[in-house]
Amino acid sequence: MSDLTKATLIQDTSRRIIDNVARVIVGKAEVVVLMLVALLCEGHILIEDVPGIGKTTLAKAFARSLNITFKRIQFTPDLLPSDITGISYFNQKQQEFVFRPGPILANILLADEINRATPRTQAAMLEAMQEQQITVDGETRSLPRPFLVLATQNPVELEGTFPLPEAQLDRFLLRLKLGYPDDDEENRMLLRFEQDNPLAALQPVCQGGDVLQMIQGVRHIRVADNVRRYIVAICRTTRTHNTIELGVSPRGTMALYHASQALAALRGRDYVIPDDAKYLAPMVLTHRIILSPQIRLRGRNTETVIQEIVDSVPVPVEE
C-alpha cells in the first residue's frame, strides 16, 4: 500500500470520526481534528477553558467513536499518586499481593482541573505521558495503546491551584481553547439535547486497532528537507528572540514536526507543506515558552509572540 493510499484511508476514517462526534457536539470539528492529531502522534492535550462548555462530553464522544476505553479523574488537593496509578494490596484469600489498576490504565484519560492537585500528584503523570508506562512498587507496567491524556484547567479561577511546571507543560503536544459556541450553535445544541442525550445512543465508527494502523501510517508521511528546516527555524528563533526568556526545547521541535505529519495525513496528503506547521505552531509552541518579565508587564502574551515569529521566518518555496 502506497503512502498516498494510507493518507487517504486516514482522511476517510477521520471524517467518519468527526461526523460521528458531531452527532453529539455542535460546531467543534476543528477541535476534533486537533484531538486526532494528538492521538496519531501519541501526544496529549491541555485544554484551558471555563467549565460547562462540553469538555467531558467531547472526550466521551471521541472515545466512544473509536471504541476505546475512557476514564475520568477529578483532580483535587487531597488526590494521591496511587489514586491515579493504582495500588498493590495483600489479598488474604490468595495469600499474595495483587495489583489494583488505577484510572490511568485507559486509552483516553480526562484529567479534570489538573492544576488543583499537588505537585507530587501532578508528577505521577510525567512517566505515563512521556514513556507510556507507570511504575508501582518497583514494577513497571505498560499503558494501553493508543493513550491520550486530555487535561483541563480553568484559566479564570486560580485560587487554591498549583501551576503546572514547565517540565510538565512540555509533555503536552497541544494547548487548546474550545471557546463558547456562537448563537446558531448554541441554539442547535438546545434542540439536540431537548429530549434525550445523543451520547447514550452513539455507536463506534472504528476500532482501537484501526487507530494503531493510522499511527503507523502517519510515521511515513514525507517531510521535504526545506520544510523540515523551516520547522527547525521557527523553533530555534524562539531561543534567540528578544521577548522570550525560555525558548522551545528540542522536544517542542519534534512535537511540531510529528504534528505536521499527522495533520497532513488527516488532510489526505502523503507529504507536509509549510502551511501545516504554520497552522499548528500557536497550539504546539505557546505553552513551551516563557516571556521576559518586561514583555509580560506590557500586556503581550505568548500567542502573539509565536505568531510574530511564524510570520517572520521565511517560508520555503518550491524550486
pLDDT in tens, the chain (319 residues): 676 787 888 889 999 999 999 988 888 889 999 999 999 999 999 998 888 888 888 999 999 999 999 999 999 999 998 899 988 887 888 878 888 888 999 999 999 999 888 888 888 888 888 888 888 888 888 999 999 999 998 877 777 788 888 888 889 999 998 888 889 988 988 888 887 888 888 899 998 888 999 999 998 999 999 999 999 999 999 999 888 888 999 999 999 999 999 999 999 999 999 999 999 999 999 999 988 888 777 778 889 999 999 999 999 876 5
Amino acid 319: pLDDT: 53
pTM for this entry? 0.90
**Residue 20, all three cell numbers:** 460521528
Listed by start position, the domains of the chain span: 3-193+204-214, 221-312
pLDDT of residue 295: 78
Nearest to 288 by CA among 317, 319, 245: 245
Four-residue CA torsion sign, 196, 197, 200, 205: positive
pLDDT score of 255? 95
pLDDT, position 318: 67
Residue of 303, 311, 145, 115 whose CA lies nearest to 216: 145
CATH of domain 221-312: 1.10.8.80
Exposure b/e, 160-179, CB count within 10 A at least 16 = b: ebbebeeebbbbbbbbbebe
Strands annotated E in 147-189: 148-153, 174-176
CA triple 312-316-317, angle to 5 deg:
130
Fold of 3-193+204-214: Rossmann fold (3.40.50)
Determine how β-strand 45-48 pairs with β-strand 96-101: unpaired
pLDDT of residue 227: 94
